[in-house]
Amino acid sequence: MKLAVIGTGYVGLVSGVCFAHKGNEVICVDLEQYKIDMLNRAESPIYEPGIEELISLNMEAGRLEFTSDLADAVRRSDIVILAVGTPSLANGEANLSYIEQAAADVGKAMNGYKIIMTKSTVPVGTNQKIKDVVAAHTNLSFDIVSAPEFLREGSAINDTLHPDRVIIGLDNAGLRETMVTLHQVFTDKIYVTDIRSAEMIKYASNAFLATKISFINEIANICEKVGADVTCVAEGMGMDKRIGSSFLQAGIGYGGSCFPKDTNALIQIAGNVDYEFKLLKSVVEVNTDQRFMIVSKLRESLGQLHGVPIGIWGLAFKPNTDDIREAPALEIVETLIQAGAVLKLYDPIAMDKFMEHVNHPNIVWCSSPQQAAEGSDAVCLLTDWEEFKKVDLVQLSSVLRNPVLIDGRNVFTEEQIQRSGLEYYSVGRPRMN
């Protein structure tokens, strides 16, 4: 099939590349010329393991193109996929200006019947708006499909090639076969429903996963006070198939470009129809508080933080991505700077993106975990990159001025800590403190 993908971010680029990899002819479009220039050199503007190899392979096979000419891409395609951003507005609602602009541009460019498929996460009713916007710019016929995306940054290619399921929302049953054919190269688990339900499935899924995280974090906070170990509690809970073991890792909470914005958007979606989503409001509140556990443990251990050198390991919101959107590190770093601490920051991939957003004379940018630790009064682990798990803790203890390790992701085992000589704090594992 001939596809145009609008937006070459984490979702659009990975989807476009994977659709091409399965034999479709794909043209990826972005407004940002520098991204298109990079992509035309087979360089990825985002960090995603394996993406550059797949870009090269599919460009060479003649199935994948990159352009900033949206109109040309639309005219040469049968299916147009909308994958632009839907970030939060100040009140938590989704900002639909990018998707509305893209819909208008698609409408203006149309030269015949098209299927317009929305992959961006959009509030219930948005696909109807997209339909109205496109219709305002063309008299040609078209159909709208909702195909919300569930990939995770860091494992986006594998998630796209082998998804747990594909959700398709339609209001024209005649499209079912085309949509199934397009997606069954990835999986047979294709659930077809109406558009509004498909839109809601995306928000409900992310809200549910965020709820699991905040739930286990509250259990961890109680474990700290009653002397239980949250990793054992989570393991025991997860053995029950009705609960499942995923998303039960206690830590400093979720971040990223999806959970924070989608939970807030769902609270707003509910509020707009006079429904107060009390449970989800608490999930968000718990998550916001949880990241400050790092600051309180630092104060508990070191007292006042003015002038105190502190190493920070990990800035990305999770490992294997350079994405720092809503990363807990942003607020933690800001709070510690306000307290006058001197911060030695290190992340294997996300340093450049972090530097674009945060700068202060109290920040020292480091090129290794060891450099961030040397002479510091504590190290705080904020992202569970594999690199940190491999650090020799005995050596770490010897290079720190004061051997304190605050593990915000429960990365280290009791055995590792016992041998290390470190004063150690983690989340919900009080016997290791």
- Identity of the residue, 262 or 347, whose beta carbon is nearer to ligand NAD in the bound complex: 262
Burial track 271-284 (b if 16+ CB lie within 10 A, e otherwise): eeeeeebeebeebb
Among residues 5, 74, 96, 102, the one that binds ligand NAD under rule CB under 6 A: 102
Which range binds ligand NAD by CB under 6 A, 57-65, 79-87, 220-228, 391-399?
79-87
Structure tokens at 206: 């992310």
Site for ligand NAD (CB under 6 A): which residue of 3, 4, 5, 9? 9
Show the CA angle centred on residue 252, arms to residues 325 and 376, nearest 5°: 95
List the structure tokens of 161.
């090639």
Cα 224 from Cα 65, distance rounded (Å): 53
70 binding ligand NAD? (CB under 6 A) = yes
User: Smallest gap, in angstroms, from Cβ of residue 326 to ligand NAD?
Assistant: 11
Q: Write out the two tokens for 151.
A: 């990939």
Say if CB 82 and CB 7 are below 8 A apart: yes
Q: Choose which of 48, 93, 143, 149 interacts with ligand NAD (CB under 6 A).
A: 149
Q: Per CB under 6 A, which region of 2-10, 306-314, 404-412, 423-431 contacts ligand NAD?
A: 2-10
Report 213-272 residues binding ligand NAD (CB under 6 A).
257-258
11 binds ligand NAD (CB under 6 A): yes
Residue from 18, 28, 223, 258 carrying the catalytic annotation: 258
CB of 288 to ligand NAD, least distance (A): 20
Count of other CB atoms within 10 angstroms of residue 1? 15
Q: Is residue 55 within 8 Å of 17, Cβ to Cβ?
A: yes
CA distance linking residue 128 with residue 136, whole number of Å:
12
Of positions 59, 63, 79, 85, contacts ligand NAD by CB under 6 A: 85
Residue owning tokens 């700077």: 337
Cβ 154 to ligand NAD shortest distance, Å? 9
Query: Based on CB atoms, which residue is closest to ligand NAD, 66 or 346?
Result: 66
Place of tokens 């063309």: 138
Active site (annotated) includes residue 366: no
Closer Cβ to ligand NAD, 255 or 428, answer by number:
255
Task: Output the smallest distance, CB 243 to ligand NAD, in A.
Answer: 24
Please identify, using beta-carbon distances, which residue of 158 and 301 lies nearer to ligand NAD: 158
CB 27 within 8 A of CB 5: yes
In contact, 304 and 377? CB cutoff 8 Å? no
Which lies closer to ligand NAD via its Cβ, residue 8 or residue 376? Answer: 8
Q: Residue 187's beta-bridge partner residues?
A: none
Does residue 31 belong to the site contacting ligand NAD (CB under 6 A)? yes
- Give every CB contact of residue 48 below 8 A, 6+ residues apart in sequence: 10, 13, 14, 153, 154, 156, 157, 321
Q: Could you list the active site residues? A: 258
Binding site for ligand NAD (CB under 6 A): 6-12, 29-32, 35, 70, 83-86, 98, 101-102, 105, 120-121, 149, 151, 153, 257-258
